[in-house]
Chain A
Amino acid sequence: MKWKGWILALMAFAAICILADLAFTYGIIFRTPTSDIGRINHLYHEHGDEIPIFGSSKAHGNYSPDAMGLNAFNYGFDGISYEVTDVLLQIELAKSKTTPIIIELQHNDLAADLGDQSRCVPLMFDARIRQLLKRFHAMEWRYYLPGIRYFGYYDWYLKDYMSERMQLTHNITKGYKSELHQLPFSQARLDDYVSKRLQITSGYFPNEDQNRRLIGHITEHPERLFFLVYSPYHPSYFAHFQNGEQLKLFDEKLKALPNVVLIDWSQMHFPDEFFLDTLHLRHEAAMEFSRKMGDKIREVLRERSGEATVEKSKGK
């Protein structure tokens, strides 16, 4: 066998992989601030007075910082569970900031999900991300190999890059994504989602470990005010809701913490036209929800600052 050809081909392959890795990492992935990785990168580097909003797709699609009228940034990611939020929270809490934090709470986190792994691969330099992947048994040998680590994700990174530059499909402002060509509301489609929802079990199925970690973060950082929010669900979500009493107890436990403001708007009345499905709001509804949420947060912050002034004057 002629080995020269194989060695040359292997060297060319390795060189192209390394070059592609460098080009994608620094020329595309980290140059797309509105992509998921771009937003996580923003989280690493933001040390100002921005209010971070954490959570899953409900957070991503429901909270518009502009409509809220706050200096906030949306770090909601589709298809993730609290496990991922927990890592993002760790990154945020490691900073010397005192701004409030908004977290969209989920009732059911049993189906713990890592979400799209392509978000993690370029951030392998962070031990917390590596730990997260290991916890989900999602760590793969190829994630250590330049070029090969992005196998299967190249087009996603490229799509994010092009979407940002061309703004053909959606617009992302301060982390909030709004579709430019949202499908018109369809009652039949929503009814289909509702009938599917009625066939599955909704409810509060606590993950004690996650609850303990969340409460741990809150108590360890009394300087940060945590807004824990349940944003609106379609009424069908509560048709067969289980363990409501347990959920109330957990909510009471959270409310008892001095630096927590629990806002339960899960059953806020919104018409059918406001829902994409039984969990997520359509854009116009998200705007309305965000405006109300912004008002609520400002009101709480005003009250709190008033209380603080009274406390200070009492102290004097």
Chain B
Amino acid sequence: MRIDTALFLLFLGVIAVVQAMMPGRGRVVALLCASLIFYAVSSVSYLILLLGLCGLNYWAALSLSQNLDQRRRTWVFTGTVLVNLAVLIFFKYAADVITQGMLRWNGHAPAAEAGFAVPLGISYFTFQMLACVTDAYRQTWRIDHGFTNFVLFGLFFPQISSGPIPRAGPLLPQLVGGDLPVVEDRLEGVRLIAFGFFKKYVVANRINEYVTDVFKDQFGTGTLAALIGCCLNALQIYADFSGYVDIAIGSALFFGIRLAPNFDRPFLSTSVTEFWRRWHMTLSFWLRDYLYLPLLIRIRILGKSGVVLAIIITFAVCGIWHGLTWTFLLFGIAQGLALSAEILTKSWRTKRLKRLPENVVRWSGRFYTLGFFALSQVLFRAANVPQALWIYGRLIHLNFSGGLAQLFAARPFFFALDCVAIGSWVGVAYFHRRATSRSTPWFVFLCGLLIIFLGRLGSAHFIYAKF
């Protein structure tokens, strides 16, 4: 079930009614059933797989929370991590590689013909489980809830498809509380859902058409079109992903559960380092806590080189996590290099920038960060390296010839509507920040009208759903 559909809203409504009719513990069971149904709609067999993994990780977390000897703890921890990673790697990469290999070898792949697919939210689920087991191993968190609660934590339906990646510490106690949500939380949830739908349908889907035309050279992409295309591509990914996250967080809040925020106005960042603290925050913090820091501790004797190496490896893994392609690897390495350059030049920059007015420093920082991110997102979007290089080539070889359609790589009418959509995003975001419980119906009314009259259907699911 896609969470950007009317069916999902109906599903939310039904669960809310059922939950309201249940007594304390029954509400938790209602949420668990809803999560199981939500996943089963996608695939029953994968639901069984994920339940099995929940069982394994629950057992491991429970064992690690007890006073076992260190050797046995290490075995349990290593074994569980390896099983989780094996499942993730198999479904995310190996299955695809095997299928492609079989298709090339004999033009026949039973898995492909059977509609073999990656289990819904397997990456996010794995990250979640690895965090639990690692925290239990480090003894920074201990499990003191039952298995059904743990399953609800693992499969909680608003966040299972694309995060945010929750940590057991803050989320589990909320899930087992069983209290009915307060009206203010429900209304805040509704506002977030409406805003998420607006971002997806009005901004992301609309911009997607423009960016697709630029990348496909539909109208003869010139320099200006390539530049606008790069910027809009970054905006689209943000609108699409943050739209999904808003719907997910809003849906959880509708049941009184606060998920961790995933974005904190990243385009206001003044450096790439700050950007990654504001963009896909739950993944960034996960990578920091469970990959970067352990790696850094192991290679700390290398000094600054160790830091750089740890950053580049972390971001290379982050890139590869998106997909086993050169473009994603290069995207990750580019982020790592930018962060490393910022760390290495920090004291030098601080000394020189002190002389400039604060506003100039702030805005030039934002410009640099957004520019870098937009350029690197070309790698994220491009189907392959030659396509990315082709876009970069368009930016370098200045060409401003042609009519309006060639100049903007679009029909002027649709380009104007894209601008209206982005402008309305600024307005809706402003209204969203100031909306109260009292103004919620009118906020939903505004989003609804904009979606109906300015929205685009789009055939694509959320971009991050495929990761």
| Contact indicator B441/A20 (Cβ below 8 Å) | no
| Contact indicator B441/A151 (Cβ below 8 Å) | no
Check B444 for interface membership: any CB of A closer than 8 A: yes
How many whole Å from B251's CB to the nearest CB in chain A? 18
| Contact indicator A16/B441 (Cβ below 8 Å) | no
Q: Is the interface of A mostly helix, strand, loop or mixed?
A: helix
How many whole Å from B424's CB to the nearest CB in chain A? 13
How many whole Å from A208's CB to the nearest CB in chain B? 25
Known contacts A5-B438, A5-B441, A9-B442; A152 and B457 CB within 8 A of each other: yes
A148 to B403, CA, bound (A): 35
| Contact indicator B445/A9 (Cβ below 8 Å) | yes
How many whole Å from B208's CB to the nearest CB in chain A? 13
| Contact indicator B451/A151 (Cβ below 8 Å) | yes
Interface 9-residue window, one of B40-48, B321-329, B411-419: B411-419
Contact residues of B between 415 and 437, Cβ < 8 Å to A: 417
Check A245 for interface membership: any CB of B closer than 8 A: no
| Contact indicator A6/B441 (Cβ below 8 Å) | yes
- Closest B residue by C-beta to A3: B441
| Contact indicator A20/B413 (Cβ below 8 Å) | no
| Contact indicator A155/B442 (Cβ below 8 Å) | no
Check B1 for interface membership: any CB of A closer than 8 A: no
Contact residues of B between 433 and 456, Cβ < 8 Å to A: 438, 440-442, 444-445, 448-449, 451-456
| Contact indicator B445/A154 (Cβ below 8 Å) | no
Known contacts A8-B441, A151-B455; A181 and B413 CB within 8 A of each other: no
How many whole Å from A214's CB to the nearest CB in chain B? 30
Known contacts A8-B441, A20-B453; A155 and B448 CB within 8 A of each other: no
Check A136 for interface membership: any CB of B closer than 8 A: no
- The interface bits of chain B over 1-21 (1 if a CB of A lies within 8 angstroms of the residue's CB, else 0) are 000001000000000000000
A268 to B65, CA, bound (A): 80
Which of B6, B187, B411 interacts with A159 by CB under 8 Å? B411
- The interface bits of chain A over 1-37 (1 if a CB of B lies within 8 angstroms of the residue's CB, else 0) are 1100110111011001100100000000000000000
| Contact indicator B442/A5 (Cβ below 8 Å) | yes
How many whole Å from B98's CB to the nearest CB in chain A? 24
- The interface bits of chain A over 159-193 (1 if a CB of B lies within 8 angstroms of the residue's CB, else 0) are 10010000001000000000001010000000000
- How many residues of A are counted as interface, with CB atoms below 8 angstroms from the partner's CB atoms? 25
- Closest A residue by C-beta to B442: A9
| Contact indicator B449/A16 (Cβ below 8 Å) | yes
How many whole Å from A252's CB to the nearest CB in chain B? 34
Known contacts A147-B452, A148-B452, A151-B451; A12 and B445 CB within 8 A of each other: yes
Give the residues in chain A near B268, CB-CB below 8 Å: none
- Closest B residue by C-beta to A181: B403
| Contact indicator A155/B183 (Cβ below 8 Å) | no
| Contact indicator A13/B453 (Cβ below 8 Å) | no
Chain B contacts to A: CB under 8 angstroms: 6, 183, 187, 220, 403, 405, 411, 413-414, 417, 438, 440-442, 444-445, 448-449, 451-457
A-B contact pairs, 29 of them (CB 8 A): A1-B187, A5-B440, A5-B441, A5-B442, A9-B444, A9-B445, A12-B445, A16-B449, A17-B452, A20-B453, A142-B6, A147-B452, A148-B452, A151-B451, A151-B455, A152-B456, A152-B457, A154-B452, A155-B413, A155-B417, A155-B454, A159-B413, A159-B414, A162-B413, A169-B405, A169-B411, A181-B403, A181-B405, A183-B220
